[in-house]
Amino acid sequence: MGFDLVWSGAYYAMIPSGAHGFELTADEEIALMAFGDAFVRTARPGLRQEHPSLGDVGPLPFVHFMGRVRTLEDGTVESRSATYVHPGAICRSPTGTGTSARLALLAGQGDLGPGDTLETISPRGNRFVGTVLGETMVGDFPAWDSTTTGSARLMARSTLTVDLDDPLVDASDLEGLLGP
């Protein structure tokens, strides 16, 4: 199975969804999770996990499923996409780093250039717009600067309670967060 490996805050395995029968719709999320899980478990042992300037960045965490790129009548370029997070989640948005990885791949292939945009659409219909800014280098490797915009929603709010009298708690990391 062919895939591209792209860095965008972490390594992304970039997989053409149509080659595996996916249209990247909401009703495919369970199948996408199963495929993503099997893919990551199979691919991890053979992948180099060194970033050219960060060193060891850990095992492959993401699979980005890429739908075909379409150019609409108004010139907008869009693509369905889904990001799998190991183990076992399909993001509800196309994700900013996933969109950025897709931009880098398309720019590296010559399909997009500085100033070009791509709108990615998740299986749930959420949309992010990424724009290629320009070419750069990371170590000895060509890279692309980009920007991505989208909408975020608060999913949950939680409260963390730390017992500062517990002798096993190292509160030095909390300095500045605690009140007077």
> What pLDDT, in 10s, does the model give residues 117-141?
999 999 999 999 999 999 999 888 8
Query: What pLDDT was estimated at residue 176?
Result: 62
Question: What confidence category does residue 1 fall into, taking pLDDT thresholds of 50, 70 and 90?
Answer: low
DSSP letter, residue 111: S
Peptide bond into 52 cis (omega under 30): no
Residue 160 lies in a domain: no
CA separation for the pair 157, 159 (Å, rounded): 7
Query: What residue numbers bound the domain in which 63 lies?
Result: 4-151
Give yes or no for residue 24 having a pLDDT over 90: yes
Query: What pLDDT was estimated at residue 111?
Result: 94
- Rounded to the nearest integer, the mean pLDDT of the chain is 91
Residue 167 lies in a domain: no
pTM, two decimals, is: 0.83
Residue 165 lies in a domain: no
Residue tagged 């395995």 (tokens): 13
Residue 136 lies in a domain: yes
CATH number for the domain that contains residue 22: 3.10.310.10
Residue 72 lies in a domain: yes
Residue 133 lies in a domain: yes
Domain count across the chain: 1
Query: What pLDDT was estimated at residue 95?
Result: 93
Residue 71 lies in a domain: yes
Question: What confidence category does residue 115 fall into, taking pLDDT thresholds of 50, 70 and 90?
Answer: very high
In this structure, what are the phi and psi dihedrals at residue 179, rounded to the nearest 5 degrees? -70, 180
What is the torsion angle, in degrees rounded to the nearest 10, for the CA atoms of residue 70, residue 71, residue 73 and residue 75? 150
State the Rg of the chain over Cα.
19
Residue 100 lies in a domain: yes
